[in-house]
Chain A
Amino acid sequence: MMHPFYFRITVVCLAGSLLCSSCAVLTDSQVKNINVFATTTKAYCGFPSAVVKQYADLDQTLAIMKAADVRDFQHVQNQLNRARSGFQDKMSSAANFDLSLQMIQKYGALLAKLSCDDPANNLRDPSEDLGENLDNAVALFNQKTGSHLNASLGSDLSKLILLVGQRLTRRAQTVALKQFIEEVDPVIAAATANIEDVMNNGVKELWRQDSADFENFARVMLEHELAAGGAPGISLNRFEAARWYYDQLTVYRDADALRAQVVQAAVSLRNAHAALLADIHQKKQLKELVAETKQFITDVQPLGPLLSHYIKLP
């Protein structure tokens, strides 16, 4: 059985480790920010491909309109075949538009995993078992030797081991998180800048050209419809033609709004990560220190009476 003196030394060492390690642990708000970031990236990672799929759909409609404008059946057939293969090609490309965001999503998930309590909490069960066994051993020791060691000595020690283990694990998590967040920030800035550039220049220009061609072909088609025989004024055919034109224009407008939303989301993603980085750096500011201290007090409070038995608390 451990001599009370050695036991006291052990407790002091563990408490010292606890105090030293606590200063670098993430606050709840930082962990929350990380989780919010991870959730946001998960929701966002399919947006760019949706824009390209929408473009594929609209370009296919344009291709079919063009096919309807040629006279020879073989040429109509060629145009329709091309409409189909072009659509499939664009849909295949669409998936590759999400790859960088899927990686950012994985990064977010790993950040969340590194900031979670699981590795630290995994220590709880064995520590509790140890505490129970130590308590029994202390009781037996008292009985056999006539000593008067505190009956809860074992469980108190195991609680302290658990707390130190959790703190050390969280400290390792924090060091890793800080390093990765700093390292990845410029990568995310570059990735989201690329999304902005592609959406604001490449995709927008493709749509602008398609939209102009669509309006050109639609105008000719509507003019033919309006000039077709029959009584002047409204008719079901004319209403349906006008309705179709209106709906298609709405689709183009919505598609451009979707593109703009993707750009906005990319900016938000970049800002969210920059805020995360700033959050980590601002940790030493008074507000964060107070929050951190509060967190520390919350963690340590239940152990206050125990610690006061073995070390002189300030």
Chain B
Amino acid sequence: MNTETLNALKQVNGQINQLHDELRDPSLPQGEIGPIEDAIDALEAMRDILIHEALQSMVDQLNQTNARLQAVLTRMQGVSDRLDRISAAIRKVSDVISALVQITQKAMSAGLLG
């Protein structure tokens, strides 16, 4: 788990809150408003990066097992296809025998056999 990123985010959030508190102070000199708001902007940008990193780290963790699972899925699909092919092959054999029986039957009817 990305503990460092989340701790850093906590610190950045604390600093942003602190700057907002200062910004609300009615006695804040006019000249300090701009630099404080610039600092908030910069910290917010950093906050976005940290959240993005935290989420990406979670996605990476969640998807750790995907390669293993994908390998099994590929083999499962292969087995499924193979079963379909076996079924088709049995069907084909059955059809061929059926056709042979029909031919034999016709031959017998025509007096060629029996």
Q: Which residues of A contact B (CB under 8 A)?
A: 1, 48, 52, 59, 63, 66, 69-72, 75, 78-79, 82, 85-86, 89-90, 93, 96-97, 99-100, 103-104, 106-107, 110-111, 113-114, 119-120, 122-123, 125-127, 129-130, 133-134, 136-137, 140-141, 144-145, 161, 165, 169, 172-173, 176, 180, 183-184, 187, 190-191, 194-195, 197-198, 201-203, 205-206, 209, 213, 216-217, 220
- Total number of B residues with any Cβ neighbor in A under 8 Å: 62
Interchain CB contact under 8 A, B105 and A136: yes
Residues from chain B with a CB closer than 8 A to the CB of A120 are 87
Task: Determine the distance from Cα of A33 to Cα of B64 in the docked complex, in whole angstroms.
Answer: 27
Interchain CB contact under 8 A, B72 and A180: yes
Interchain CB contact under 8 A, B17 and A216: yes
Residues from chain B with a CB closer than 8 A to the CB of A113 are 80
Interchain CB contact under 8 A, B55 and A119: no
Selected contact of A82 from candidates B38, B44, B56, B58, CB within 8 Å: B44
Q: How far is the CB of A267 from chain B (nearest CB, A)?
A: 15
Q: Would you give the 0/1 interface string for B87-103, flagging 1 where the beta carbon is closer than 8 Å to chain A?
A: 11011001101100110
List 17 contacting pairs A-B, 8 Å CB cutoff, sorted by A.
A66-B40, A72-B34, A82-B45, A82-B48, A103-B69, A107-B76, A110-B77, A123-B87, A136-B101, A137-B108, A145-B114, A169-B83, A169-B86, A176-B83, A180-B72, A191-B69, A220-B24
> What is the predominant secondary structure among interface residues of chain A facing chain B?
helix
Closest Cβ neighbor of B36 among chain A residues: A70
Selected contact of A184 from candidates B41, B69, B90, CB within 8 Å: B69
Interchain CB contact under 8 A, B101 and A130: yes
Interchain CB contact under 8 A, B98 and A126: yes
Residues from chain B with a CB closer than 8 A to the CB of A133 are 98, 101-102, 105
